[in-house]
Structure 1
Amino acid sequence: MLCRMRKRDVKTPKVEVVNQPETEIQPPDGGWGWVVCLACFLTNCTVHGTTSINGIILIELLYLFNDSFSKTTIVCSIIAGTAMFGGPLVSIALMFKASHRQIIMFGGIIAAASAVASSFAPNIETLIFTFGILVGFSLAVSYFTVNVILGQYFLKKRALALGIATSGNGFGSFMMNYLSTKAISFYGMRCTFLLLGGLFLNLTVYGALCRPLTKVIKQSPDIQNKRTSVDEMEGAPILGFEAENKETREKCDDFNRRISENIEPLPKTLRVRQSITSEIMPNEIYNRKSNYCDATIFKNKCFYLLLATYTTHAVGDSFYIYLPVYAVSIGLSREEAALIMSIYGIIGIVSLLLIGILVDIIHIPTSYLLTAALSSMSISALLITFCQSFETLTLCAVMTSIGHHFGASLRIVLISAILGRENITTAYSMLSMLLGALYIIYPTIKGFVYDAAQQFFVIFYFDSAIVFVGVILSCGIIYAQKTGKFVE
């Protein structure tokens, strides 16, 4: 039997099989990736080292400009806050086809030029713009970008590479506090800005080492299945040929029946280009949007509780800004104040290693560790008001460093447990933006508090009280975990 069809009855649409191969980045997991890891390590040293010396810089700016404590604090607080705003800026730059290497190098050039301009600043207002805003955003962009491209270079060894790169944070804090103190005592604050400009210019070298990865062609299973279906149907005698078996005869009959009923004239595996555009693309776009922004996270009460808890945790994060100033005010030398901050950075490295052991090996619930971290910060902020020696002040700095780094490390872990891994990107971006704003607001508020009271004790009482509220809120997270609202 022949499958016959008259041309005047129906017009056969022109079939265009869209078969565009997909591309992907293939991580080398070694080779030049270790050079990129070194560049990321040095970038982290530079960025975190610069933010860690805010307290040392604050002492000198108070002597240099003799301005109010609250206004001078803004210079340091903006640098700390803008570190959390690098993600959106980098995303916009990548949308305009800028490469990771170009973004890192551009950030280094702007940071270097801004630091040089800061050495000529006539007042605090100018310094807020040149060193606070321009240097802050430039370092944030370079820092975020270099860590992103490092993740692209590694897959199986990603944890090791990120661990090595992240250790640069504490190493930078350790080295920069000592070196900046020596530079300021020998050259002065204005020449130290010039030295920082030269240090930031090295970011262009680190960025040049981050070569972009080439994409390789990857044939997805869906496209392969479509090609197979097309090949099968092209071999079948659909129009004007005799069916050799029962199966192909049924295909011919089904095809003619669908033509006569004005239904889709082709099998489902064959699509005309209009059909692909109208039916497949809206679903793909919707799925991509849902991956980046899932509205269900706003219905989760535990997520709001987590945001509130980290709102209080952000108060203690500005501890390192005021500790050197307080140390000098009780009679310690600037070298001793810098040494305390160096110890603060080293304890940060130990804390990052310890939190991994406690969570992954000993399996202590993360909600308990968050409560312990906040308690350590609250107690140390209260005890610091009784410290009058180098040893006791160092002990409080150690307690605060453990609490700060524990809490910072648990952010992604808790978000993943509460909202699921598919919502990490959206939720963590929201939390980072919130913390970035708080890192600017809280130090400024505490600066006004000091101007009103003229005593550092009020600042640390303020820190202790706010962080203690976070301890209470974190108990709610413990209760939610115990009642099964989320599971790690």
Structure 2
Amino acid sequence: MVAPLKGLSTSPPDGGWGWMIVIGCFLVTICTRAVTRCISIFFVEFQTYFAQDYARTAWIHSIVDCATMLCAPLGSFISNHVSCQVGIMLGGLLASAGLILSSFATRLEHLYLSLGVLTGLGFALSYSPAIAMVGNYFNKRKALAYGIAMSGSGIGTFILAPVVQLLIEQFSWRGALLILGGFVLNLCVCGALMRPIAGKENPKNMLEFPEQEFEPEAPKQDLKQWTICSPLIKVWSHKCLCRCSWQEYNFLLTPDFVVLAGSVLFMAYGCSPLFVYLVPYALSVGVSHQQAAFLMSILGVIDIIGNITFGWLTDRRCLKKYRYICYLFAVGMDGLCCLFLPVLQSFPVLVPFSFTFGYFDGAYVTLIPVVTADVVGTASLSSALGVVYFLHAIPYLISPPVAGWLVDTTGNYTTSFLLCGFSMIFSSMLLCCARLAKRARRTPSRPLGRDSNAKQTSWTNGAIAYSVTGELEQKGVELLASEANAFSKR
């Protein structure tokens, strides 16, 4: 038997140890995204203790989200070139250290660095590699696997929101942060589950250089020859590094990914402030602290339903090819929810809002890696997810402080929520218009004649593929010419 070539990947198993990967990613999303959402429960405590306005206090949550997304490519890099297990474990240690150091904060700037930068960096090293591992293990049931894995964010929010509120009441915000720091150490356990798939392609083994011939190792006595050739070795290694980087990120110039990236920017700007200001807004309209935390719990548990049901539905044969449309529909619905939020000023009417927003939030969060995989392919999924989550960074950084500044300026939340709603609706419309334009370009023009149709060339991904009929005609002419030559020799 011939041994398999090194660097070639096997097909995803769609099961087996893959379900352990799903469980590990599920726990990672609890320890990262759910904890990040629960930081909004500390908002009023920080604002009261440090005597700061909305805008300055909102920077804490913004920096956490920004650092998580800004450093996502670093997490992908460590996962690709070192190990996914190492990246997630290192991220758990950093995030835990940031939360523990935050419990000793005496100034708001201290929280910017510890809770914002250090914890966000730890979340970044853990989040994107764990999500990419799910895509490596699943193909046919990819959306369902992602739905289960991403539901950890909703389940974690549902459980942690009232628990964090209880911890604040019992141990103050310092004790609550200290306990969360110990809880986040579970990321190290999650990292141990992330076993690489057998036979999965290694970016280091994917490169082939036909113009280079690898010589056997030189003898030890030829030290002078190695010294002379060292500049050539440096040039060759630099060329290899450039080719490796291009192989990993060549999807950046594709039109589909550019449109998706632009849409992600507006979507991220619109979704972030709501998780920061839902609890403060509920308190401002007369809702109690426990009820405000319960709104976050409702949002979290419905988020779970959105994760799993949308993941299962979009894996069905009838909807599998419409994942892109389902994604933009979910984003648009969340935008509409934000537009109606300013008129909801009591707990009974805020509960349906939490149901609706939470469901569609879970839906599009599940479909982000699925749509990204459909656009760039599974081989580039880890790097592409790093870029997609990197694009969340700037909107996550500026949107909560901008919303807080609008609250400080206008004295209410109306302008902030309207801006969020219109931003998400524009994100959905951008994808919709791009899809319609792509379909219009794909519409075939009416053929002029049979001969022109036979010799027509087709373009696919920048490469020219000549039609079979044209080649058959050429071979027919050559065959007739050879027969004529043979007849003349007779």
TM over 0.5: yes
Question: What letter matches 2:49 in structure 1?
Answer: L
Provide the residue aligned with 2:176 in structure 1.
192
Offset of residue 294 of structure 1? 2.4
Query: Residues of 2 paired with 1:286 and 1:112: CA distance?
Result: 35
Residue 116 of structure 1 corresponds to which residue in structure 2? 100
Q: Could you report, residue by residue, the CA deviation over 1:43-91 in whole angstroms, capped at 9, with x for unpaired residues?
A: 2222122012132121221122111211111111222233324542234
Distance in 2, matches of 1:173 and 1:369, equals 24
**1:177/1:338 contact within 8 Å kept:** yes
Give the deviation of 1:136 after TM superposition: 1.2
- Aligned equivalents of 1:475 and 1:215: distance in 2? 38
The letter of the residue matching 1:312 is F
Match of 1:450 among 391, 407, 422: 407
Alignment of 1:321 with 2:276, yes or no, is yes
2:266 paired residue number: 312
Offset of residue 414 of structure 1: 4.3
Residue 442 and residue 115 in structure 1: after superposition, are their counterparts in 2 closer, same or farther (change >3 A)?
A: same
Question: What is the DSSP-based 3-state SS (H/G/I as helix, E as strand, rest coil) of the residue aligned with 1:84?
Answer: helix
Asked whether the equivalents of residues 306 and 477 of structure 1 are also in contact (C-alpha less than 8 Å), the reply is no
Q: Aligned to 1:74, which of 59, 80, 84?
A: 59
2:397 to 428, 440, 447: 440
The correspondence of residues 200-211 of structure 1 with structure 2, limited to 5 A, is 200-210=184-194
Q: Which residue of 1 aligns with 2:250?
A: 294
CA-atom RMSD, angstroms? 4.1
Deviation at 1:379, TM superposition (A): 2.1
Q: CA-to-partner distance for each residue in 1:422-456, whole Å, 9 max, x for gaps?
A: 66555544332111221112112212222222221
Q: 2:27: which partner in 1?
A: 42
Deviation at 1:313, TM superposition (A): 1.4
Shift of 1:406: 3.3
Q: 1:110 to 1:453 in 2, by over 3 A?
A: same
Could you tell me which runs of 5 or more consecutive residues in structure 1 were left unpaired when the two chains were aligned.
Answer: 1-18, 219-267
Instruction: Check 1:213–1:345 CA distance in 2 against 1; reply closer, same or farther (3 A cut).
Output: same
Report the equivalent of 2:110: 126
- Is the CA contact (8 Å cut-off) linking 1:108 and 1:200 kept in structure 2? yes
More moved, 380-389 vs 403-412: 403-412
TM-score, length basis structure 2: 0.71
3-state SS in 2 of match to 1:199? helix
Greater C-alpha radius of gyration: 1
Secondary structure, counterpart of 1:483 in structure 2: helix
Change (3 A) 1:155 1:469: closer
Select 2:302's aligned residue among 326, 347, 351: 347
Contact 2:67/2:120 (<8 A) preserved: yes
Are 2:161 and 1:177 aligned? yes
Following the alignment from structure 1 to structure 2, what is the Cα–Cα distance between the partners of residues 473 and 217? 34
Q: Are positions 1:462 and 2:419 aligned together?
A: yes
**Offset of residue 121 of structure 1:** 0.6
Pair 1:332 & 2:287 matched: yes
Aligned to 1:246: none
Q: Offset at 1:330?
A: 0.6
Aligned residues: 413
CA contact (8 A) 2:96 2:185 kept: yes
CA distance in 2 between counterparts of 1:477 and 1:216 reads: 33
Alignment of structure 1 residues 21-420 onto 2, 5 Å:
22=6, 37-93=22-78, 97=82, 99-148=83-132, 162-210=146-194, 273=215, 291-294=247-250, 298=253, 300=255, 302-318=256-272, 319-361=274-316, 362-363=318-319, 365-415=322-372
| In 2: Cα distance, 1:159 partner to 1:119 partner | 38
Distance in 2 of aligned mates of 1:370 and 1:160: 14
The structural deviation recorded for 1:481 is 4.6
CA-to-partner distance for each residue in 1:172-215, whole Å, 9 max, x for gaps? 11111111111112211111111111112233333345567788
CA distance in 1, matches of 2:152, 2:243: 37
Query: Percent same amino acid at aligned positions?
Result: 28
Q: Does 1:480 align with 2:437?
A: yes
Which range is displaced more, 325-334 or 447-456? 447-456
- Given the superposition, is the C-alpha separation of residues 123 and 454 from structure 1 closer, same or farther in structure 2, using an over 3 Å criterion? farther
> Is 2:75–2:124's contact at 8 Å kept on the other side of the alignment?
no
Deviates more, 1:57-66 or 1:149-158: 149-158
**Aligned CA distance change for structure 1 residues 306 and 44 (closer, same or farther; 3 Å):** closer
Task: Give me the TM-score of the superposition, normalised by structure 1.
Answer: 0.72
Give 3-state SS (helix, strand or coil) of 1:188's partner: helix
> CA, structure 1 residues 116+21, in 2 after alignment: closer, same or farther (shift >3 Å)?
same
Q: Which moved more, 1:162-171 or 1:61-70?
A: 162-171
Q: CA deviation at 1:386?
A: 0.9
Greater shift in the superposed pair: 182-191 or 440-449: 440-449
C-alpha distance in 1 between matches for 2:289 and 2:309? 30
Find the aligned partners of 1:294 and 1:317 in 2 and give their Cα distance. 29
Distance in 2 separating the partners of 1:132 and 1:73? 11
Q: Do 2:88 and 2:188's aligned partners in 1 also have CA atoms closer than 8 Å?
A: yes
Q: How far apart are the structure 2 equivalents of 1:399 and 1:216? A: 39
After superposition, what is the alpha-carbon deviation per residue over 1:438-488, rounded to whole angstroms, capped at 9, x for unaligned? 11121122122222222212211222233343344244134225425599x
Deviates more, 1:148-157 or 1:439-448: 148-157
The structural deviation recorded for 1:145 is: 3.7
Q: Deviations over 1:282-309 (max 9, x none)?
A: 99988755532327x5362x54443333
1:273 is displaced (CA, Å) by 3.9
Deviates more, 1:196-205 or 1:474-483: 474-483
Greater Cα shift, 416-425 or 465-474:
416-425
- The whole-number CA distance in structure 1 between the counterparts of 2:424 and 2:80 is 39
CA shift, 1:135, in A, is 0.9
